[in-house]
Amino acid sequence: MKTMDDAGPTKGKKVQSAEVGTEILKALADLAPSTSLKRLAEYLDMPAAKVHRYLQALIASGFAEQDPLTSHYGLGREALYVGLAAIRRLDVVKVASPALAELRDALGQTCFLAIWGSHGPTVVQVEPAQGMVTLVTQVGSVLPLHGSSTGLVFAAYKSGLEEGADPAVLEGIRSEGLHAIHGLLMPGVNALSVPLFKAGRELAGVVTVVGSQASFAAEPQGEGARSLLEMAREVSLRMGGEV
């Protein structure tokens, strides 16, 4: 039978192992999308053999993965699951989710919410409409910064993202409070995007309505745009911001 003295050191080692594993996961996130064992060990200032041992355990649990072609390491599916679960607890996701579903029902089109993630505009909530476009609107998808309406709205309102974008387009987004595209990201697919703000007029996320040209005209002065702007105003006000 183990005594308290026997259990103490074992528990301490487990806590230490958990701390090391957490540090490795954080480093994988910092060095994303992938990194070599040597670079990871240098970044952590740990012996490569020790890092490799922990990586094997993380791979076995699904929190890390290794590219069979490059042998580089990156975050695994379970890490993505945990990250998305944490994201969903953000105020903007909690506040916007019910309104997103109502907007989908009102317009009959797919609606989604994106926030600024470590790799760019990241989809965190999707309300799909039956038969509508879902190819680029999966939870976890990272959208192109200057090649999507969602990304361009981020570029218009988030400091440091303007380079490479058409200044006239960004100014138009700020002036109108929304952006419409027709076939920019995918041929035959239209989209409308609006910003969501929290206190201090800080950008909290971007809501986008997307659909095929046959069913969604995506007109900046149309009914869909008016519904989208009204939804954005209500959600922003609930977060202490305003459109």
Binned at pLDDT 50, 70 and 90, residue 11 comes out as low
Is 81 or 99 the better-scoring residue by pLDDT?
99
Give the position of tokens 């409409």.
129
pLDDT over 90 for what percent of the chain?
63
Distance CA 176, CA 128 (A): 26
pLDDT for the residue 106: 94
Q: What is the mean pLDDT of residues 82-95?
A: 74
Binned at pLDDT 50, 70 and 90, residue 1 comes out as very low
pTM reported for the whole predicted model = 0.66
Centroid of chain to Cα 121 = 6
pLDDT for the residue 5: 45
From 54, 31, 44, select the one nearest 119 (Cα to Cα): 31
pLDDT over 70 for what percent of the chain?
89
Distance CA 173, CA 151 (A): 12
Mean pLDDT over the full length of the chain: 88
Backbone dihedral angles phi then psi of residue 30, each to the nearest 5 degrees: -65, -35
Q: Of the ranges 54-63, 122-131, 160-169, 218-227, which one carries the lowest mean pLDDT score?
A: 122-131
Is 3 or 139 the better-scoring residue by pLDDT?
139
Binned at pLDDT 50, 70 and 90, residue 12 comes out as low
In this predicted model, what pLDDT tens digit does every residue of 34-69 receive, in sequence order? 999 999 999 999 999 999 999 999 999 999 999 999
Q: What is the mean pLDDT of residues 166-181?
A: 95
Instruction: Please say if the pLDDT value at position 159 is more than 70.
Output: yes
Beta bridge partners of 189: 212
In this predicted model, what pLDDT tens digit does every residue of 177-214 receive, in sequence order? 999 998 777 778 899 999 999 888 889 999 999 998 88
Q: Are the beta carbons of 233 and 225 closer than 8 angstroms?
A: no
